[in-house]
Structure 1
Amino acid sequence: MTTTAALPSVFGAVHLGYIVIETNRFTDWHRFGTDAIGMHHDALDSGVTRFRLDDQECRFLLRRGPAEDVVATGWHIDDHAAFEQIEARIRAHGVPLVPGSAEDAALRGVERLLRFPGPKGITQEIYTTPRTAPDPLRMRASGFVTGEAGLGHIALTSSKPTRVRGYFNTVFDARLTDYIDETISGVKLKIRFLRVNERHHSIAVAATRGLPLDPIRTRVQHLNIQAATLDDLAQSYQRVGELGFDMALSVGQHTNDKELSYYARTPSGFEWEVGWNPLTIDETTWRPTTHQGISIWGHTPVGQTIVDKLDQFRRGARSLTRREDTVPALSGTGIPDD
């Protein structure tokens, strides 16, 4: 097996670019994305629809299907040299890559698309040169923060968090930002936050302490996007409630990245965090630490019943007998258990 240890780091050249969601609930997603969250919507045909946050053609691609979940994440790579470096290290570990078709690339609004297996069955896609849309944005929000920090972040639950962390370290040279220890309904959690650029984290990985449980039905626990203004955050929070969508957590402020945010429940069941004003990382001074609890204030659960808690317990128990795919060839060595 070829070693890639001597290759330079791609950290900083990687940005979360788009998310692919499979759903049959297009009407509900249209209302949720445009009327509640405030994004720009483009309906391409009966089986594909997209949301925009900025001048890029696609930030969320929804395709028709039964998963009701995230099925792929797209990562924008700054240049061809970094793209080829990531491609080489994946091939060196014996993991297959599949070129995206011209149609796949067009739907995502990108060029030079490659896909390969990712943790929890979420396909990872890398691309260069996102296309910009000629039409102006039509959306209820004044804007969203993307740019060098990327789209936002994706949060997973895992029974093998060290392997998930190792995967993103191997592929993207992800760095550990910090940890949060939290207890929810008597269950102790440890959450790892990983960054690939100046954004505090592009990936969060939550795991239960003790038994390797995974109580979440979907592959992702939540997605995050960053509102441009506090007014955008407050107004979308109000619209979510007025339009009858479920709120998972009320407005609050996180302990680690200091982001003000709320969590709504999407039509597919996973959560959607809208945040504002998280801190950015200064690589010259940052050191990983552990925070106690996810919130300084707020983030109060909304509408959770004892039935919901029992359902989570049953899912967690069933996960003990279910194999979690971590793509072992890319899960890395040299990262200590934590």
Structure 2
Amino acid sequence: MTTFENASVFGAVHLGHIVIETNRFTDWRRFGTDAVGMHHDDLDTGLMRFRLDDRECRFLLRRGPAEDVVATGWHVDDHATFEQIEARVRAHGVPVVEGTAEEARTRGVERLLRFPGPKGIAQEICATPAVSPEPLRMLASGWVTGDFGLGHVAITTAKPALTHGYFTTVFDARLTDYIDETISGVKLRIRFLRVNERHHSVAVAAVRGLPIDPVRTRVQHLNIQTATLDDLARSYERVHELGFDMALSVGQHTNDRELSYYARTPSGFEWEVGWNPVVIDESTWEPSTHRGISVWGHRPVGRTIIDKLDQFRFGARSLARPERTVPALSGAGVPDDRAPAPR
């Protein structure tokens, strides 16, 4: 690659929007607006959006059968960064598609480019997000976004090194830390990757020693960050009162120290609402390995033996269907033997 393509884009990339395909619009409207507390806009019968701040779109829901995240959008600081990432992807021989004017409009951006990503999740880069003149109408007092982006996305994979390599190649992602955890006898390793000062914008979880993926959906969970502890507590209460499934109770993570809970969305993947994670100081941060996901809490809620059997069933099925990767953008991957010593 040229010097232009090699220059780091770290810090100029922010998780900007998420595209979800679902046919459960009524349930999603109640979940996003009445339970979580986001601002909601209907575009037409096949599209709706949620807002967290002055940006026109943070979550775009379109009608379709996937019941899953189908694209993640990365907002970049300027057109030069946009063109740098585009040149980088093209230099690796990966096809890119320019978004239509209508696609850019529904995402609330001026420029949109799409290319393949891990697990079949399209990656979109966007420039010049639109600011909405409409005041927010939502139950939460506010959400932490800005230079940190909207939150993070977590995926499970049978190919963690390639997934890590992908985000390093495309966005110059940096390893923040690892978590080793054993759940129901299954050993997991989770990598946390950042593209700016947010502790992580991508979490990559894998079963150690087994090339399986135990989760049906492309994403395991999405995360957004409340402005206040009161917002977190009130949304937790609303999720219960409205009858949505709670996946994990309130708890605190070992690595980013975020206080959070996990609800189950109408599409089946989980939605983490968190508060007050640590902010990375690039001048002093050193990656480490943590034992266990939580300091306290995050207990499974209402999980039955049937749920556990379903997880094993999905894991077994994943052996028969090759996971979609983008080898040209994944390099040689980042092997586990680079893992730092535990704290």
> TM-score, with normalisation over the residues of structure 2?
0.97
The whole-number CA distance in structure 2 between the counterparts of 1:258 and 1:113 is: 34
Per-residue CA deviations over 1:83-138 (Å, capped at 9, x if unaligned) read 11100010000001100000000000001100000000000000111001111000
Structure-2 residue corresponding to 1:191: 190
| Residues 325 and 5 of structure 1, relative CA distance in 2, 3 Å threshold | farther
- Quote the sequence identity (%): 80
Residue pair 2:17, 2:150 contacting (<8 A) in 1 also = yes
Matched, 1:57 2:76: no
Quote how far apart the aligned CAs of 1:144 are.
0.3
Matched, 1:230 2:221: no
Quote how far apart the aligned CAs of 1:175 are.
0.2
Unpaired stretches in structure 2, ≥5 consecutive residues:
338-343
Residue pair 2:226, 2:274 contacting (<8 A) in 1 also = yes
Residue pair 1:4, 1:92 contacting (<8 A) in 2 also = no
Q: Secondary structure at the match of 2:332?
A: coil
Residue pair 1:260, 1:276 contacting (<8 A) in 2 also = yes
| Residues 19 and 6 of structure 1, relative CA distance in 2, 3 Å threshold | closer
The answer to which of 201-210 and 315-324 deviates more is 315-324
The whole-number CA distance in structure 2 between the counterparts of 1:102 and 1:294 is: 42
Residue pair 1:23, 1:65 contacting (<8 A) in 2 also = yes
Residue pair 2:18, 2:69 contacting (<8 A) in 1 also = yes
Quote how far apart the aligned CAs of 1:8 are.
1.2
Structure-2 residue corresponding to 1:145: 144
> TM-score, with normalisation over the residues of structure 1?
0.98
The whole-number CA distance in structure 2 between the counterparts of 1:219 and 1:6 is: 29
Structure-2 residue corresponding to 1:214: 213
Structure-1 residue corresponding to 2:32: 33
The whole-number CA distance in structure 2 between the counterparts of 1:190 and 1:248 is: 20
The whole-number CA distance in structure 2 between the counterparts of 1:310 and 1:5 is: 50
Residue pair 2:163, 2:333 contacting (<8 A) in 1 also = no
Residue pair 2:5, 2:88 contacting (<8 A) in 1 also = no
Quote how far apart the aligned CAs of 1:3 are.
5.7
Q: Secondary structure at the match of 1:71?
A: strand
Q: Secondary structure at the match of 1:129?
A: strand
Structure-1 residue corresponding to 2:340: none
How many residue pairs are counted as aligned between the two chains? 337
| Residues 326 and 241 of structure 1, relative CA distance in 2, 3 Å threshold | same
Structure 1 counterpart of 2:32, one-letter code: G
Quote how far apart the aligned CAs of 1:335 are.
2.9
The whole-number CA distance in structure 2 between the counterparts of 1:3 and 1:211 is: 38
Residue pair 1:169, 1:332 contacting (<8 A) in 2 also = no
Structure-1 residue corresponding to 2:320: 321
The whole-number CA distance in structure 2 between the counterparts of 1:337 and 1:87 is: 29
Structure-1 residue corresponding to 2:341: none
| Residues 306 and 231 of structure 1, relative CA distance in 2, 3 Å threshold | same
Structure-1 residue corresponding to 2:20: 21
Residue pair 2:93, 2:328 contacting (<8 A) in 1 also = yes
Structure-1 residue corresponding to 2:41: 42
| Residues 253 and 304 of structure 1, relative CA distance in 2, 3 Å threshold | same
Per-residue CA deviations over 1:299-326 (Å, capped at 9, x if unaligned) read 0000000001001101101111110111
The answer to which of 205-214 and 328-337 deviates more is 328-337
Unpaired stretches in structure 1, ≥5 consecutive residues:
none
Quote how far apart the aligned CAs of 1:6 are.
7.0
